[in-house]
């Protein structure tokens, strides 16, 4: 039976993180049954995985780390709950295409097990009516956006602009380890097992994820933690002329949405006061809600399942999704945050999300907000 064509999306328009949300792409986790733990993956998640690397790497260099099926099923249940909650808030939910099977990919320089399109925030930034595909850090993610192309083409048909950063080769020496070496961290547990080929004369490439940005109308905050990111900031400035890009100097290793979430003009959620100094001067006078302490009882106990590597930090649930300036979707397993937000007058839509530390994403990461009502407002003066 032919399936009816999905209703056409409205025009792409997304300049910020908090004005009324009308349409969103929500990621999916089918076939997320392994992490491909090559050097690019180890470096990307080094902040979280360094303590366990080595202990679990096999001497043969086996890089595929299986994820128990029960966890993927539970993740899918929680994502279904998020889809229902968003629909219940009147938001139209689009999905990436589903990978039909495990997909092994091969470039001329390396091979990898492809990551499913779960954290759709990461490989794309929507800047107004422009889709910007970014330049993946993790080799396993290099074709991830192919599964979003049905949605991107529909927005393109409705008049959106569509740009891509140069696709990185992610060869042997493409990735900059400066963020870690600046902190005197030894990166050998990530780099010792490198199996990718080199490209003579290439050196550090432009490598950058969409989730390193936070959008605020005509301003965009951009986390730059190394030379890979520096090249991308220049690309953004050269190619998107009508927005102002503010460089945040190494606020985190890469993504910043478990550190900072702007909630409405003049109010942000921040991991701790230590992060204020990274922000543009105009934001330092905003009101701040600091992420409340949470404890282990809010996180599942995985001891029965053998080892499961947490690729996300304990702060993942800062990563909420705003429906509008007064309504936020928050993990029900972070009741401390729900209480604080309600105390500030927010309507909180609680949605359960158990395995956020295993798949590296919260609700902001799982979503790409393609249609919001706000425009290129100046929120910083
Ligand atoms: N868009 C994302 N995938 N964000 C997740 C950021 C997670 C962050 N590295 C942490 O461990 O807290």
Q: How far is the CA of 289 from the centre of ligand 1 (A)?
A: 19
H or E element that contains 131? strand 130-133
Ligand 1: residues whose CB is within 6 Å? 48, 119, 121-122, 211, 255, 257-258, 312-313, 315-316, 360-361, 365
Ligand 1: which of 257, 311, 315 to mutate, judged by most atoms within 8 Å of the beta carbon?
257
The ranges of the chain with pLDDT < 50 are 3, 5, 58-60
- The answer to whether the beta carbons of residues 154 and 12 sit under 8 Å apart is no
Ligand 1: which of 141, 255, 257, 355 to mutate, judged by most atoms within 8 Å of the beta carbon?
255
Taking alpha carbons only, the member of 321, 309, 302 closest to residue 362 is 321
- Atom of ligand 1 minimally distant from the CA of 313: 11
Rg (CA), the chain: 20
- ipTM of predicted complex: 0.97
Tokens 């209703």 belong to 7
Which stretches of the chain are DSSP H helices?
39-44, 46-49, 69-88, 149-157, 178-181, 188-191, 227-239, 281-284, 335-343
Q: How far is the CA of 5 from the centre of ligand 1 (A)?
A: 34
- Atom of ligand 1 minimally distant from the CA of 122: 1
- Atom of ligand 1 minimally distant from the CA of 318: 12
Start-to-end C-alpha separation, the chain: 55
Could you give the CA distance from residue 213 to residue 240 in angstroms, rounded to a whole number? 14
- The answer to whether the beta carbons of residues 331 and 292 sit under 8 Å apart is no
- Atom of ligand 1 minimally distant from the CA of 311: 11
Within the chain, how many helices (H) and strands (E) appear?
A: 9, 19
- The answer to whether the beta carbons of residues 213 and 135 sit under 8 Å apart is no
Ligand 1: which of 275, 360, 364, 369 to mutate, judged by most atoms within 8 Å of the beta carbon?
360
257's tokens: 């949405």
Q: Are strands 92-94 and 21-26 parallel, antiparallel or unpaired?
A: parallel
Distances (CA, A) of 101 to 31, 72, 115: 6, 14, 11
Percentage of the chain exceeding pLDDT 70: 96
pLDDT of residue 157: 97
pLDDT of residue 306: 77
Ligand 1: which of 75, 311, 312 to mutate, judged by most atoms within 8 Å of the beta carbon?
312
Ligand 1, atom 12, residue with closest C-alpha: 313
- Atom of ligand 1 minimally distant from the CA of 314: 12
Max Cα distance, the chain (Å)? 60
Kindly report the number of other CB atoms within 10 A of residue 214's CB atom. Answer: 26
């Amino acid at each position: 039976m032919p399936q009816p064509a999905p209703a056409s999306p409205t025009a792409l328009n997304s300049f910020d993180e908090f004005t009324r949300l009308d349409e969103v792409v929500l990621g999916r986790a089918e076939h997320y049954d392994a992490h491909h733990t090559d050097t690019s993956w180890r470096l990307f998640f080094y902040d979280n995985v360094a303590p366990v690397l080595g202990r679990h790497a096999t001497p043969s260099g086996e890089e595929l780390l299986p994820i128990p099926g029960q966890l993927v099923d539970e993740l899918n249940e929680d994502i279904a709950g998020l889809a229902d909650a968003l629909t219940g808030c009147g938001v139209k939910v689009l999905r990436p295409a589903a990978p039909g099977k495990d997909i092994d990919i091969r470039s001329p320089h390396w091979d990898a097990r492809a990551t499913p399109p779960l954290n759709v925030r990461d490989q794309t930034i929507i800047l107004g009516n422009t889709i910007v595909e970014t330049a993946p850090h993790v080799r396993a993610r290099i074709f991830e956006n192919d599964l979003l192309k049905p949605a991107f083409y529909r927005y393109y048909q409705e008049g959106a602009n569509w740009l891509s950063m140069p696709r990185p080769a992610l060869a042997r020496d493409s990735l900059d380890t400066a963020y870690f070496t600046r902190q005197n961290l030894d990166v050998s547990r990530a780099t010792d097992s490198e199996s990718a080929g080199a490209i003579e004369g290439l050196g550090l490439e432009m490598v950058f994820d969409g989730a390193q940005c936070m959008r605020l109308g005509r301003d965009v905050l951009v986390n730059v933690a190394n030379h890979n990111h520096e090249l991308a900031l220049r690309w953004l400035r050269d190619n998107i002329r009508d927005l102002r890009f503010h460089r945040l100097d190494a606020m985190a290793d890469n993504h910043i949405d478990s550190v900072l979430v702007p909630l409405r003009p003049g109010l942000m959620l921040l991991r701790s006061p230590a992060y204020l100094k990274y922000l543009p001067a105009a934001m330092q006078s905003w009101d701040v809600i600091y992420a409340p302490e949470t404890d282990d009882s809010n996180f599942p106990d995985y001891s029965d399942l053998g080892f499961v590597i947490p690729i996300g930090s304990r702060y993942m649930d800062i990563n909420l999704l705003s429906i509008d300036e007064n309504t936020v979707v928050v993990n029900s397993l972070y009741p401390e945050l729900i209480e604080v937000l309600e105390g500030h007058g927010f309507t909180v839509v609680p949605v359960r999300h158990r395995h956020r530390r295993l798949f590296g994403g919260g609700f902001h990461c799982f979503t790409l907000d393609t249609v919001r009502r706000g425009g290129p407002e100046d929120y910083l003066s």
